[in-house]
Structure formats: structure tokens, C-alpha cells
Amino acid sequence: MAKIMIYLLYISLGLAPSVVWLLFYLRKDIHPESNRMILKIFFYGMIAAIIAALIEIGISGVLVTVGENWFKTFPFLFFILYHFLIIALVEECSKYLIIREKVINNPEFDEPVDTMLYMIIIALGFAALENILVLFSGKGSLLFGEAAAISSFRFIGATFLHALCSGTLGYFLALSFFEPKKRLKLIIKGIVVATLLHGLFNISIIEIEKGLTSQNSLLLTFSVISLVIILSGLAFFVSFGFRKLKKMASICKI
């Protein structure tokens, strides 16, 4: 019984950051989506997380096998490839591709702002499964305070980052419906921007951990400032994107 309660706690705390951000962003939709549609996209996000994890494991294994000597000689090369291409690019593309294949042609997809909203919802589903797995992957059973602290940090960090990067990509995807001749260019631009900022966020987190471990105050300060700039910049851009799309035509030309 005790283990079941712990598992339920982990699941609840893992879902909590995504649910809070979901409620926040749903308020930006003038014409609310059906609960069925929201839950379906959220679930798609969880599926995207599983797909991305499998791809990341596969690509990492191939890279290490094929380029083992190169990466031993140039470890920084593997570091960059891993965080920008294997992690950030794969995760952003997995979320986008599911939205493109499963959501865009849905009758409920009828406003420019829906593109950003759906991308954010799928990102929050993605982050929810990540959060749950992080809590379950801890050594031994986490105390409530420890689990709550991890959930809180992920609320203002990884979960928020996923929502913002996908929202940014969603903005460029929305613009592509109004400029068909530039559609591919705009989508690629959105993927590149989301990937770069996602990768920089991951690296900033790693550097913060290094700064704490080594007690390097300069590294810690620089990394925290970088993290704040990335998140605040993305938050401003997503907010701007919502406002701009609401001023555009009410029906998407898909």
C-alpha cells in the first residue's frame, strides 16, 4: 500500500507542473477547445516523449559506435551534437510531426492561435511524462519534500521550457499557413530557433550543476543569468505571438 501511495504521489507531482501551465495557456484561447481535444493532444505529447527517447537512445548508440575515436579526441564535439541535435532537435521535431500528422487537419483546428496552443499542449504532455520518469528514476524512495522540490524546479524550468519552445515553433507554423510560398522556410526557421534555445537551456542547466558542485560562483552566476534570459526571452516571444495571431484572420488557410 505504501508503494502504491508513493507511485501515486510521483504521478501527481509529475503531472502538476504541466497541468498548471496548461490551465494558464488555455486562458489565452478566446474560443476554447473541447476537453476531448485537449486531452487527446496532451496524450499525444506523452507518446512523443516515448518516441523521442527511443530515437535519442538509438542515435546516441550509433554515434558512439561510429565516431568513438573522434569523440574521445574531441569530447566537446559530442557534447554539442548530443545536446543540440540528439536531444533538442529530436524532441522538438517529434512534437511538431505529431501535430502535423494528427492535429492540423482536425475540424477543431480553425484559428491561427490554435497552432501555438496545440503545440504548447503537446509539449506539456511531453514534459509531464518526463517529470514522472525523473521522479521514478531517483535512487530509493524520495521524501515528499524532495519530490515536491524536483517538481517545483521542473515547473519553472524544463516544463516551462518545453511549452515555450513548442509555442515558438507553433508561431512560425501558424505564419506558414498565411504565406504558403514560404511555408517550408518558416517551419524550418521555427524548428531551428526552438532547437537552439532548447539546447542552450540544457547546457545552462548542466553548467549550473557544475557550478554548484565545484562551488564556482562565476560559472554559477553566468549560467543562471543565461537561463533567465532564455526563459524570459521565450516567454516574451510566445506572449507576442499569441497577441499577433489573434489580430490576424480568424480562419486558418490550411
Region 227-246: mean pLDDT is: 94
Which of 48, 71, 50 lies closest to 60 in space, CA to CA? 71
Question: Contact 112/248 with Cβ under 8 angstroms?
Answer: yes
- What confidence category does residue 141 fall into, taking pLDDT thresholds of 50, 70 and 90? low
- What are the φ and ψ backbone dihedral angles of 196, each rounded to 5 degrees? -60, -45
- In whole numbers, what is the pLDDT of the chain averaged over residues? 88
pTM higher than the cut 0.75:
yes
Q: In the predicted model, is pLDDT for residue 47 greater than 80?
A: yes
**Least confident interval from 24-33, 43-52, 201-210:** 24-33
pLDDT for res 1:
63
Q: In the predicted model, is pLDDT for residue 210 greater than 60?
A: yes
Q: Which residue has the higher pLDDT, 250 or 152?
A: 152
For the segment 10-34, what is each residue's pLDDT rounded down to a tens digit? Answer: 899 999 999 999 999 998 877 778 8
Q: In the predicted model, is pLDDT for residue 217 greater than 90?
A: no
- What confidence category does residue 175 fall into, taking pLDDT thresholds of 50, 70 and 90? very high
- Residues 252 and 82: their CA atoms lie apart, in Å, by 36
- Residues 196 and 186: their CA atoms lie apart, in Å, by 15
Distances (CA, A) of 144 to 141, 148, 153, 193, 205: 9, 6, 14, 37, 23
